[in-house]
Structure 1
């Protein structure tokens, strides 16, 4: 499953992840927003968090006394002009277009502080905290230094994990184009550990159970908050207010954790999250 040789190591800091788990997405145009009392959510069938995004949307709508309607898109079939910095050049322009079609665009992974929010867009309160994890067939404890001592480490091309290696340690880095290749390299023993997007791994293990060890990473850009996006001009809209109020209520009543399983519900404000 894995390439025979390492790829050229990317040196610039990534924008949004290049994996389909990450995310984000092609425009699917629909004829206007739904009637009053309905919140329209754009969701991506290629996002491994799709079931969670839809569960949160339904819970929010129910809490607000609204009805959830969905515009389902598939980011793997996106067309792009390549002008943006996201996967296939889709991120900014596509999300701006989706913001005109839906009240809220679900499933966007946001950095601590929100530095990667597309221009002209704003984010709701976070409803999931997730990120990159270390996965291996053996022990993956001991932090990044421990993983280096254990052997070679596989990472996804252009993911934040590619920035963790220095000149002294880059010989341990093996870069792959897809999560499938990365995960397969770990299972085949080509690398000792894979640093992989947790939602993709959860989806993989739910479909194909396998005995592996998983550990969270305490590294820069390893932890992300999943939010819904909307145009800045819609910050006072009923849909946005209902969403944020519902997330606040679900969090206070300890219901949100049950809705977002197996992911973690945020417990801190976004701006104070530690990298």
Structure 2
């Protein structure tokens, strides 16, 4: 299970603005930033002002995480860091849909609303996408950017290891567009001030994220003091001043319409083909997967053997993004009421299966055999309370099921 923050240098500094004597250093609150996070400059600045406002001495801890490679920071590493090496993590990304957290962490109020955007090269000197690059979308491997990009039709993916490399691929004319987290765009243009990008929003439920402070479970008092400080900074305008450069432009801030199509409900969407009339409910172009939960039907049967096989396949092909426990990581949860509510589901078993078999895993969509996808579907059904039977679930049976995906009480 990895929360992906690709490799940038992890900077450190005294957040209070003055060195503390050795006798006082042990009393400081230890603040960590994520290795590789493009927002680290902002995170340090907000942390400095928030802890100063709260009257709490604080320092950044160097080397709080065991790893800073391209595989990111695992949930286990988060808890280890909070238990032994730091008291607070600045710049923790939270999403209302794809939340890479669990109940053992506490969170402050958000200090930056940001998200994943679609960018294209702009301005004088911007390279024209070559014919070979037309239809290519750059995205960072194993991040929400890839999951957003893979929803689109008639595109090829250029998967890069870091957000910086993803933007660089676009800047060099190797891709027509790029899907990237907006703070990465800010960080890139800071390092390359001559570069300009046209920024637009993305239509996805896991495009919107907020930066917060994360605390250990026992840090309720500290969390409260930082929330009070952030609220004060918001009222007097200091928070807006600190985050102004990092705020998404108006072209990317439109709220997701209630009727917007997204993964699992309507299948892949080519963003360039989505017009305002389509978002308002007009017929859409392209091969959308229709998911109609209005017709009751019995859930297709599956057996225990394929649940076991599906669990193994899930661990190797799906867990990196959706989490080993199906609770979500860089991608939405695949268990619980957000995925399979007890009633009135928007999803059908056939719709979920069709999307999965067409678009997953995100690094190599459609790479598995049809029956392997059926076995993963059996595992997902079992994990959401459906009971295994004696008849094996087939790909055709899963694909044609119009049963609403309503979670069941585990027997």
Q: Same fold (TM over 0.5)?
A: yes
2:3 to 3, 16, 34: 16
Once the two structures are TM-superposed, the CA of residue 243 in structure 1 deviates from its matched residue by 0.6
Cα deviation code 1:198-223 (max 9, x no counterpart): 22221111111213222233422111
Once the two structures are TM-superposed, the CA of residue 154 in structure 1 deviates from its matched residue by 1.4
Which residue does 1:41 correspond to in 2? 31
Measured at CA, do residues 35 and 114 of structure 1 come closer, stay the same or move farther in structure 2, by a change above 3 Å? farther
How many residues get paired? Answer: 226
On the 8 A contact 1:60/1:242 being kept in 2, the answer is no
Measured at CA, do residues 74 and 154 of structure 1 come closer, stay the same or move farther in structure 2, by a change above 3 Å? farther
Which residue does 2:232 correspond to in 1? 249
Measured at CA, do residues 218 and 20 of structure 1 come closer, stay the same or move farther in structure 2, by a change above 3 Å? farther
Cα deviation code 1:26-80 (max 9, x no counterpart): xxxxxxx9555x43211245322122111111111221122222213376x7179
Q: Bigger radius of gyration, 1 or 2?
A: 2
Once the two structures are TM-superposed, the CA of residue 89 in structure 1 deviates from its matched residue by 6.5
Once the two structures are TM-superposed, the CA of residue 258 in structure 1 deviates from its matched residue by 0.8
Measured at CA, do residues 159 and 113 of structure 1 come closer, stay the same or move farther in structure 2, by a change above 3 Å? closer
1:111 to 73, 91, 95: 95
Measured at CA, do residues 152 and 113 of structure 1 come closer, stay the same or move farther in structure 2, by a change above 3 Å? closer
Once the two structures are TM-superposed, the CA of residue 191 in structure 1 deviates from its matched residue by 1.4
2:218 to 216, 220, 233: 233
Q: Take 1:156 and 1:34, find their aligned partners in 2: how far apart are those partners? A: 39
Runs of 5+ in structure 2 lacking a partner? 11-23, 124-133, 249-254, 258-411
**Moved segments of 4+, more than 6 Å:** none
Once the two structures are TM-superposed, the CA of residue 113 in structure 1 deviates from its matched residue by 6.0
1:196 and 2:183 matched: no
Which residue does 1:78 correspond to in 2? 67
1:178 and 2:162 matched: yes
On the 8 A contact 2:135/2:155 being kept in 1, the answer is no
Larger RCO (alpha carbons 8 Å, 6+ apart): 1
2:201 to 213, 216, 220: 216
2:86 to 102, 127, 148: 102
Q: Take 2:44 and 2:99, find their aligned partners in 1: how far apart are those partners? A: 25
Q: Take 2:71 and 2:35, find their aligned partners in 1: how far apart are those partners? A: 17
Q: Take 1:128 and 1:232, find their aligned partners in 2: how far apart are those partners? A: 23
Once the two structures are TM-superposed, the CA of residue 138 in structure 1 deviates from its matched residue by 4.6
Q: Take 2:199 and 2:113, find their aligned partners in 1: how far apart are those partners? A: 16
Runs of 5+ in structure 1 lacking a partner? 1-13, 24-32, 81-86, 140-149, 266-272
Cα deviation code 1:240-267 (max 9, x no counterpart): 22111101111122221112232239xx
Measured at CA, do residues 221 and 52 of structure 1 come closer, stay the same or move farther in structure 2, by a change above 3 Å? same
State the TM-score, normalized to the length of structure 2: 0.48
Q: Take 1:116 and 1:79, find their aligned partners in 2: how far apart are those partners? A: 17
Once the two structures are TM-superposed, the CA of residue 92 in structure 1 deviates from its matched residue by 0.8
Secondary structure, counterpart of 2:48 in structure 1: helix
Q: Take 2:44 and 2:224, find their aligned partners in 1: how far apart are those partners? A: 18
Measured at CA, do residues 233 and 189 of structure 1 come closer, stay the same or move farther in structure 2, by a change above 3 Å? same
Once the two structures are TM-superposed, the CA of residue 181 in structure 1 deviates from its matched residue by 3.4
Q: Take 1:164 and 1:69, find their aligned partners in 2: how far apart are those partners? A: 36
Please state which structure has a larger fraction of its residues in strand. Answer: 1
Q: CA RMSD in A?
A: 3.3
